[in-house]
Structure 1
Amino acid sequence: MVPGLAAFTLALLIICVVAVLHHEVVLSFIALFICLACAHQIAGLADLGFGQTATAACYLMVCMVGAYFGSGRLLCYLTQRKVNLPGISLLNKNGIEPTQSQEANDVAAVGIIMNLLSASVLACPLLGVVPKLSIAHVPWLWTAGVFQLGVCVKMYRAMDTLAATFYGFTSILRFTEGYTALVADLTHQVPYSPVPFPVVLSVLFFILALFNVQSGFMNPIYQLFFVAYSIAIAAEPQSFFQKGTQGVQAAIFVTSACVLFITLYNTVSANKIPTGADIFKNLLAHSSKFVLQTHDKDLHAPYLGYSKYADADVLGHACSVLAAFSITASATSGNPLATVILPWAVVSGGVLQLLCGCVAFARGKTLESTTFILHGVMWTVWGLTRFGGLYGDVRGFHVAVGIISFMLFNVLVTAGALFLNKAWFVYAFTFQLILISFLLDAVGALPRGYDIAVTILFGLVSFYIFLADIFNCTFKSPQLPFGDPLIKLSGFGGGKESCPHLSARRSTSVQQIAEIMKNGGICGMPTDTVYVLVAACNRPQAVEKAYRVKKQAKERPMSLWISSINQLEPVRQQISPVLWDFMEAAWPSSISLVIARAPWMDFFGLGDSSKYIGTPQSIAIRNPDCTVATHLINSVGPIAVTSANPTGEADTTHHNQVYAKLGDKVDGVLCDGPSPENIASTVVDCTKIESGQIGFFRVGLIPKSKVLQIFEEIQMRHRHGQLNDAFETDITDPHRQQTDSPTDLSETNTDSGFGHVTPADSQSSVDLSQTDRP
C-alpha cells in the first residue's frame, strides 16, 4: 500500500498548491485533506496505533467540504445564480471557454499521475521502503495501465495523436510491470526479459520525443526518461527487479512530479510557465523545405463524414512493430510464463490494436479498422496460446484449421489494400507471411529461421508506415510516400489532382469555382441540405452538360436557384403579387417553390437549355439559406441545380462523394465536410396559389405546418373585405381541403427521397414528381 499512497500524497499536494495559487478554495481544501489522510495512512501502516483518528478526521472534513460545495451549487442553480456561497461559482474565472488543448492537458494530468504511481511502486524497493516488488503491487500497476488506456482514448478525442501514442506506450509498460510482479510471486523465480522488445520500444519513444519538439521542450525531455527506462530494461535480464531499472524509475518519479505541476499550472493560469512551445515553429517559419501542419480540426477530418477522434494509425502501426519484435525471442524450455513475452505481444499487438481498430471504425475507415481488429484478435489468441502455456506440444490439424481461417480473412484484407495504397498492401501481405509461419509451426514443418525472418520483415514494414504517419501528420511538406493504389477505380480516392477540391470557408475558393462556372464548367456545392451539382444559367452548354452528367436523366428536370428575390425584380410584373409576397416570406430557406412557367425565364439567358429546367408547364425555384451558395450565385448569377448523384441513388452528404459518384465529369468541388442535414428540401406546389391553393410534392427539412402558417399570413394580407366564419366552409375550394389534408398525400420515390404528391393536381403533379430537386 505504501508506494501507491505515497504517489497519491504527492500528486494531491501538487493539486492543492496549484488550487491555492489559482484561488480555488474548495478544491484546495479537498486535495489537502485527502493528502493528509493518505500521509496518516502511511504512518498507520508503520504503527497501527498511530494516525487512525487523524485519517478519519481528514475524511470527515472532506465530506463536510463536499457537502458544502454540493449544497452551494444546488442553491445557486435553484436561485438562478442569485445566491452564490463563498468559493462556489458556476462562472469561468478567466471568462473564456476551454480550448481543445486545455481539455488535452486536463486528461494528460491523469496520465502523468499514473506514471508517478508506477514510478513510486518500482522505486520504493530501491529506497528500502518495501522489501521487493511483489504481487501486492500488481493492482496499483494494472490500475495505472487501465487509466492510461482511457487517457489514450481521451487524447484521440482531444485530437492529440502524439500524446495518445505516448500514453498507449506507457500503458504497455504498466501491464508488463504488473505481469512481472505477478509471475515472480506465482513461479518463485524472477522472469527473464528478452532484449528485442524494449530496444524497439526505446526507438519508438525516441522518435515520439523527436516529433514532440513542436509542442515545446517539456514533453520531449519527459519522454526521453522513458527512452532511458526502456534501455535499462533491455540491458538487464531481470528487468524490473534490477537496481538500474528502479533507479531510472526514481528519476521518472521526480520528473513526473515537476511535469504534473507545470501541466496543471499552465492549464488554469493565464500567466503560463514557458515550455518553449513556439521555438521550433519559429525556426521552421523561414524554411521553404519543411512546412508544419496546421493543427486544426481539418487536419484530422476523415475522408467521409465526421468524427470526434483523431487518426490512430500511428499507434496501430507502432504496436505492430512491437508485437512483431516481441515474438522474435524464443521462450525458454522451462515455464513459458517466466519469459516476458506474453504482455508485450498481447497488450501491444492485441489490446492496443483493437483500440486502434475501434478508433479507425469511428472515423469511417472500414479497411483500416478491419485490419487492426483482425490483427489484434490474432495477436491476442496467438500470444495467449503460445506464450501463456496453453499451446505446449500440441500440434496438428485442429490448430492449423484455426490459423487457416485467419489467413482467409487476411487474404480479403490484402485484396482490399490493393485499392488503398502500396504501403498498406505490403503491410497486409507481410502479415500473411507471419500467419504462414504460424501454420507451418502448427503442422511441424517450420523451416529454421523462417519465423524470425518474416517477423522482422513485417516489423520493418510496420516501422516505415509508423514513421510515415507521424512524419506526415507533423509536416505538410515534404511527405513520406505511401504509394498509389495498385488498382484504381473510377471516382475512388478523391480525384483532387484532376478536379479541384477547394475549401468552402475561403472566399478565394468560391471565386475560383465561380470562374470555372463562368467558363462553362459544372461544380459540386454544399447547401443548407445536401450537396448539389450546379451550372450557370447564362451558360446554356453548361446547363445541358450538368443535365447529361446524370445517368438516366430523362424526365428529371433541374431547378432554378437565386441568391435573393431581388434577382427577380426585373420580371416582377410577370409574377402575381400573392406569389411574390409568399416568396419574400418563405425565403431564404430550404423551401423550393414550383410555379407556372412564364416568359420571364428568358431573362436569365438559358436559350435552348431552358428545356432542362422544370417541365413545359412549371419550374422549381429556390433561394437557399446557405452563405456559400448565396456568395457563389451572387458571383455567377442564377444557377441551374440538380442533385449530385446518379439518378436513383442516395443523396450526396459529403464533398468527397461528389467526385466518387460523378467522376471526371465534374470540373470542381467546393468542400465543406459533411452536410448539415441529411434530408432534402420541402417542395411546395404554387401553380394554383392565386386561387388560394398550395400543395406539397415533398415534405422535407421545413415542416408542412410552418409552410401553411406562412401561406395563411400572406392570404390574410391579400384578403379584401370581411369574411364570416360561418360561411368559410361553403366558399372554400374543396380541392384545397384535399390538398392540405395530410391523409390524402401519396408518396412518390424521387432522387432525393420520398415526396408527397397532391392528387388534386393530376397532370402537374405527375410531371413534377420526376423533377430532380435537392
Structure 2
Amino acid sequence: MSSSEFPASFYGEPGVLGMLANGISAFLVLLQNFHTAYTGIHPKGVENILAGVHLILIGGICQLVAGFLSFRKYDHLSGTAFIGYASLWGSYGATRIFLGAKDQLSNTTLLPVNITLNVSTDTGLMNNMPMFPNITTNVSMTTALLNSTLATPVWLSYLPIKETAISGLVPYILLSFLLAFCSATVNYIMPFIFGAITATLLFEAVGFVAGWALVVSGFLELLILLFAMYGSAALLVKGLGQRLILKGFGTPLFNVLLLGTSNVGSVQSLGQEKKKNTKYAEPMALGFFCDTVSSFILAFYSFGYVSSFALGAVWISIVSTAQLFSSYYAHLRLDGYHTTKFGLHASYWLIKSWEEFVASTLIVHDVAKEAGRSPMVGDWFFVASALILILVSLNTDTLELIHNLLFLLLSISSIPQIPLQGYYIFFGVACSLFTAASLYGTFSRLINTIAEKTLIPVGPQPVSSERLRAALAGRQGETQPHSIPNQIPDALFYLTNGVAALSALHTSFSNQNNFFLHLTIPWVLISGAIIQLYISRLQVRGGLRFGSVIPSFYVAVWATWTWFRFAGHLLRLSDVAVHGFTVGAIAFLIVNAFLMLIAAYRNVVLLLLTTIMEVILVCFLLSTLKNLPYQLEIAMLAVFSIICLYGGLACLVNNIFAQRLLPIGPPLLKYEKKENAPVLPCEVADSRLTSSLLKIAKVLDEGGVCGIPTDTVYALAVSCKNPQAIEKIYSIKERPAEKPICICISSIDQLMATKPPFSPLLWDFMRNVYPGGISCIVSKGDWLSKLGVGAAYDRVGTRDSIMIRVPDHTVNRHLCDITGPLAITSANPSGEVDSTHHDMVISRLGHKIQGVLCDGESNEVVASTVVNCLKIDESIITILREGCVPAAKVHQIFERVKSRML
C-alpha cells in the first residue's frame, strides 16, 4: 500500500524551535565573549542591556513555546529541557540587563544620601546576616536613605551581580549534565547539544573571575550553534519526508535499559506505555528541576557568598514561573497531587526570595534589631502544608515522601522563632539537603519516564492505598465517588489563601515599623494575588459553574489589601485616596455576599470560607475609616487560615483517592433542572449508563451513524453489519472517497480468534500497542469475515490492507462487544480540527447523525498515530500519521519487541 492512500498529517517538531533557540542564544553570548577577548574590553551599558533582552526573547520565550509543544507531544525529556533552559537563558538575560543598568548607574550622579555610623549599637546581629558578612562596625541608614532607596535604585551600584550569576549557573551545570546523559538514551544529537551547554555554563561561571575562560566558552558556544543547526535540519527533513533521512534521531547512544534491570514478565507488564495515554507528558522532572535551582541559589545566599539578593530574586522568580508550568501540566494530566505540590513550592520560593530581597536591600538596622523576623508567621502555614503533602505522599513512593520531609525541614528552618544568629545556617543546610534530593528526583523521574519502568530506584510505596484510605475514611462507612477533574485546583486555592491570611495577621504592627511592612508585601501579594491568578486559570478549565469567580475576586481582595494596608502606609496616602478605598471595601462586601450564594451551591467548607471573608472585609472597611478592631481582625484571619488548611487537606485527599474520604459538606442549594430543555438534533446518551450504551448499540444495528468516545478524540461510527451506512459517513464528513476508513474492535483476543496469518513479530508488536492510541495497517484476508466485517469488506480499508484500532477506552470496547466491529473515522468535517468533546460533535454534526454517546472531554487532543505494518517482517514500520503517540515512542516499542524476538 502506498503512503498516499493514508496521507500523513505533518505535525510540527518543537525540537527545531528549542534547539535553534539554544543555538542562537549561545551565539549571542559568543559574540560578546569574542569581542571581549579581541579588544580586552568587557561589554558595558546598553550593549549588555540589548544582549539581555535578546536572550530573554530568543532563549527564554521561544524556548518556552518549544517546551509547551514538547509536552503536548508526550515528550518528557524535551519538555523538561526546553522549559528548563528557557528559565536559564531568561535568568542569564536578566543578569546582562542588571550589568548594563549598573554600568549606566555608575556613570550617573546619584542623589546625595546620609549614611551614619553607629558604633554604640550591637554589631552581632548584623555580622550574622549574609547580606552584611564582613561588617565590623554597624552601619545604619537614616530615613533620608530609605526614602532615596525607594525612589532611586542606589542599591544597584552595590549589587554583587557576578556572585549571584555564579550561584545560579552552578545548579544549571549539574542539571544540564543530567539532561545530556538522559538524552543519550533517546538519540545522539541532543547529548552533544546539552553536553556543550554544560561545558559552556561551567566556563561562563569561571569567566566571571578569570577572563581566559570566556575564550573557551566562546568556542563551546560555537559548537552549540553547529550541533543545534544540524539537529534542527535533521528534524525538519524528517517532518518533510516523514522518515529519518539525516542521522541523529531515532537511535540512542546507549539503551536506557542498561541502567537497571528491566521487568521481564507478562506482555501486559512490557506494554505499560499504552496505559499512559493522556494529553500531555509527565511534568514531575520539570518540577524537581526547578526545586533544584531555587534551593541552591538560596543556599548559596544563606551561607554568605552573596551579600544582596536582588538579582537572586529575579533568577528564582523566573525558575518559579517554570515550576508553575509543571504544576499546570500536572493539572492537565488530572494529577491533583503534583498540581498542588509544585504550585505550593513555586509560591514558597517566590515569597522567600522576595522577602530576602527586601531584607538585604531595604533593611533598617534599628528596626531589624528590635523585630528581626519575629513578626512573620506565614512560615507556620507552610509547615502545616508540608505535613499535608507528607500525608498524601504516603500513597506514592519513598522518593516523594523523603522530598516532602525535606520540604518540611525547609519550612521549619525559616520559622520566625529561630534566633537570627543561627537562622541562615539552619536555612542554608536545609536548602542544601533539599537541593540534593531534588537533583536525584530530576534524574530518576527523567530516566524512569523515558524507559517507562523503574530503572533508577525511587523506593516502594510507604503505605498501601487500601490502608491509607481506610485510615482517612475512619468510621464514615461507604465513601462516595465524586468528579475528579473539577476538584484538582481547589487544594492549591485553599492553601495559598491560607498563606495570605496568616501572613496578614500582624497588621497591628503596621504602625510600628516600616521594616515589617516591607517584608509583609511579598507574603500577602504573591500568595494571595499572583498565585491566585494562576489558580483562577486552572479553575476555568475545571468546568464548574462560576468556578473561577471566587479565586479571581480574591486576587482583587488581597492585592487591594496589600496596597492599602502595607504599601499605602509607606506612601502615606492622602485622605481622598483613603476614601476611595472605603468605597472599594463596600463594593467588596456586596460582591462577596453574592459569592456566598455561589458557595452555597458548592459545599459547606467553601461557604464558611466566604462567610469569614465577609467579616474580614468588614474589618477592612473599618480600617479605611480608622476604626479597626484589631482583635476581631486577627481572630477572623486565624479562623480563615484554619478553614483553608482543612479545605486544602480534604480536597487533596479526596482528589487522590477519587472518593469523599474527608467531608467538605454537601451543597446547601441545588440547581433545578429546566423542564423545557431544548430539543437536541440527535439521540443523546450518557456513557455512564448501561441503558444508554444499549440505546446507541441499537441505533448502530439499525444502520445509524453515531458519535462515540475513544481513547483519543471522538469518532463517527457505524456497524460493519450495515455496509451501506459507511457511505453515510463519507457524505456526513464530506470525506474524499480515496481516503479509507478503519475498523475498531474490542480486544486483541477478538482478533486472534479469527486466526489471521500474521507473523510472530506483528503479533508481539500489536500486543504491546493495543489497547492504545495507535492504529496498525495490516494485510486484508478472509479472517475479516470471521471478525464480523461481512459485507463491508470492500468498503473499509483499501483493496489489500486494513487499519485496525483497539482503543484503550472501556465504554468503547463494551460497545464493540455488543455490536461487533465498527467502522470509524474522526468526528469532524473533513479538513477541520478533531472533536474533543461531545458538545463539539453535537454542534457540528448533530443534525446529520442519529446519536451521540456523551463522555465529556476526550482523552487526547489529536487522533491516533497510524503505523504501516505491511513490511514488518522485513523489520520495517512506517509512521504515516503522527498523532497522540510520538513516532519516537513507536520506534522504541518496535525496537524492544525486535530485540526480544532475536
> Normalising to structure 2: TM-score of the pair?
0.53
Q: Specify the alignment match of 1:122 in structure 2.
A: 298
Other structure's SS at 1:444 match: coil
**How far 1:199 moved relative to its partner?**
0.8
TM-score (norm: length of structure 1): 0.61
Q: 1:84 to 1:96 in 2, by over 3 A?
A: farther
**Which position in structure 2 is the counterpart of 1:9?**
173
Q: Separation in 1 of the partners of 2:276 and 2:817?
A: 36
2:320 corresponds to: 145
Give the corresponding residue for 1:274: 457
Aligned-pair distance for 1:319?
1.2
Alignment of 1:166 onto 2:341: yes
Correspondence for 1:261: 443
Shift of 1:338: 5.4
Confirm whether residue 47 of structure 1 aligns to residue 210 of structure 2: yes
Identity score, percent: 19
- Deviation, structure 1 residue 33: 1.3
Shift of 1:513: 8.2
CA deviation after TM superposition for structure 1 residue 375, in Å = 0.8
The whole-number CA distance in structure 1 between the counterparts of 2:694 and 2:244 is 54
- Partner residue, 1:28: 191
- Conservation of the 8 A alpha-carbon contact between 1:315 and 1:466: yes
Give the Cα separation in 1 of the matches to 2:814 and 2:326.
43
User: How many Å apart are 1:674 and its aligned residue?
Assistant: 5.0
Residue range with higher mean Cα deviation, 321-330 or 335-344? 335-344
Q: Deviations over 1:674-707 (max 9, x none)?
A: 56332465479xxxxxxxxxxxxx9x9xxxxxxx
Q: For residues 588-640 of structure 1, give each alpha carbon's deviation from its aligned partner in whole angstroms, at most 9, with x where no partner exists.
A: 9989xxxxxxxxxxxxxxxxxxxxxxxxxxxxxxxxxxx9899999999xxxx
Correspondent of 1:110 among 286, 289, 292: 286
Q: Distance in 2 between matches of 1:74 and 1:565?
A: 40
- Which residue of structure 1 lines up, in the alignment, with residue 495 of structure 2? 318
Q: Deviations over 1:635-666 (max 9, x none)?
A: 99xxxxxxxxxxxxxxxx99xxxxxxxxxxxx
* Corresponding letter in the other structure for 1:117: V
Q: Measured at CA, do residues 381 and 256 of structure 1 come closer, stay the same or move farther in structure 2, by a change above 3 Å?
A: same
Please say if 1:247 is aligned against 2:412. Answer: no
Q: Which amino acid aligns with 1:114?
A: C
Match of 2:383 in 1: 202
Which residue of the partner structure matches residue 395 of structure 2? 214
In the TM superposition, what whole-angstrom CA distance separates every residue of 1:94-149 from its partner, at most 9, and x where no partner exists?
Answer: 99968759987753323322222222222224556x24343232221221222222
User: Which residues of 2 match residues 347-366 of structure 1 at below 5 A?
Assistant: 347-366=526-545
Contact between 1:530 and 1:676, CA under 8 Å: does it hold in 2? no
Measured at CA, do residues 250 and 285 of structure 1 come closer, stay the same or move farther in structure 2, by a change above 3 Å? closer
Q: 1:194 to 1:260 in 2, by over 3 A?
A: farther
Q: Structure 1 residue 485: deviation in Å? A: 3.0
CA separation in 2, counterparts of 1:102 and 1:530?
A: 18
Alpha carbons of structure 1 residues 503 and 313: separation in structure 2 relative to 1, 3 Å: farther
Offset at residue 184 of structure 1 (A): 3.1
- Using the TM superposition, name which of 245-254 and 357-366 deviates more: 357-366
1:69 aligns with 2:234: no
Q: Report matched runs for 1:337-416 at 5 Å.
A: 339-390=518-569, 392=572, 397-416=579-598
CA separation of 1:140/1:202 partners in 2, compared to 1, >3 Å: closer, same or farther?
Answer: same
Report if aligned partners of 1:12, 1:34 keep a CA contact under 8 Å in 2.
Answer: yes
Deviation at 1:470, TM superposition (A): 1.3
Change (3 A) 1:399 1:299: closer
Q: Which amino acid aligns with 1:314?
A: A
* CA gap 1:462/1:394 in 2 versus in 1, 3 angstroms: farther
Closer/same/farther in 2, CA of residues 272 and 138 from structure 1, 3 Å limit: same
Q: Which amino acid aligns with 2:338?
A: A
Letter in 2 for 1:528: C
Closer/same/farther in 2, CA of residues 289 and 410 from structure 1, 3 Å limit? closer
Tell me, in whole angstroms, the C-alpha distance in 1 between the residues paired with 2:421 and 2:656: 34
Residues in 2 aligned to 1:217 and 1:77: alpha-carbon distance in whole angstroms: 41
Which residues in structure 2 correspond to 1:286-685 (within 5 Å)?
300-302=484-486, 311-330=488-507, 331-332=509-510, 333-336=512-515, 339-390=518-569, 392=572, 397-477=579-659, 479-491=661-673, 509-510=689-690, 528=706, 586=728, 676-679=841-844, 681-682=846-847
Displacement of 1:527: 8.7
Q: Deviations over 1:151-181 (max 9, x none)?
A: 2222212222211211212222222233233
Aligned twin of 1:132: 307
CA gap 1:123/1:98 in 2 versus in 1, 3 angstroms: farther
- Compare relative contact order (CA 8 Å, sep 6+) and give the higher one, 1 or 2: 2
Aligned residues: 543
**Contact 1:73 1:88 (C-alpha < 8 Å) held by counterparts:** no
- Say whether residues 1:229 and 2:446 are aligned partners: no
3-state DSSP class of the match of 1:381?
Answer: helix
State the distance in 1 between where 2:299 and 2:670 align: 56
Alpha-carbon distance, 1:228 to partner: 1.0
Alpha-carbon shift at residue 194 of structure 1 (Å): 3.3
Structure 1 residue 249, shift from structure 2 partner: 0.8
Amino acid at match of 1:122: L
Letter in structure 2 aligned against 1:209: I
What amino acid is the match of 2:580? H
CA–CA distance in structure 2, aligned partners of residues 222 and 527 of structure 1: 52
Distance of aligned partners of 1:426 and 1:530 in 2 relative to their CA distance in 1, 3 Å threshold: farther
CA 1:419–1:441: 2 relative to 1, 3 Å = same
Q: Give, as a single letter, the amino acid of the residue that structure 2 aligns with 1:109.
A: A
Could you list the per-position Cα deviations for residues 303-325 of structure 1 after superposition, in whole angstroms to 9, with x for gaps in the alignment? xxxxxxx7211100111211111
State the Cα distance separating 1:337 from its structure 2 match. 5.6
Q: Which whole-Å CA distance do the structure 2 matches of 1:259 and 1:484 have between them?
A: 39
The whole-number CA distance in structure 2 between the counterparts of 1:631 and 1:11 is 46
Q: Any conservation in 2 of the 1:165–1:314 contact (CA below 8 Å)?
A: yes
Distance 1:153 1:127 in 2: 33
Distance in 2, matches of 1:172 and 1:90, equals 38
- Quote the Cα distance in structure 1 between the aligned partners of 2:648 and 2:410: 22
Q: Is the 8 A contact 2:500 2:558 kept in 1?
A: yes
SS state of the match for residue 481, structure 1?
coil
The answer to whether the 8 A contact 2:528-2:559 is kept is yes
Q: Structure 1 residues 298 and 92 mapped into 2: Cα distance closer, same or farther (>3 Å)?
A: farther
Post-superposition shift, 1:65? 1.1
Whether the 8 Å contact between 1:33 and 1:62 is mirrored in structure 2 is yes
**C-alpha separation in 2, matches of 1:17 and 1:61:** 18
Worse-superposed segment, 231-240 or 349-358: 231-240
CA distance in 2, matches of 1:527, 1:388: 63
Residues 265-304 of structure 1, C-alpha deviation per residue, up to 9 Å, x if partnerless? Answer: 112124522324556346549969969xxxxx995345xx
Residue 635 of structure 2 aligns with an amino acid whose one-letter code is A
Please state whether the residue corresponding to 1:329 is helix, strand or coil. Answer: helix
Name the aligned partner's letter for residue 222 of structure 1: H
Ranges in structure 1 where 5+ consecutive residues have no aligned partner: 292-296, 303-309, 493-501, 519-525, 532-562, 568-580, 592-626, 637-652, 655-671, 685-697, 701-774
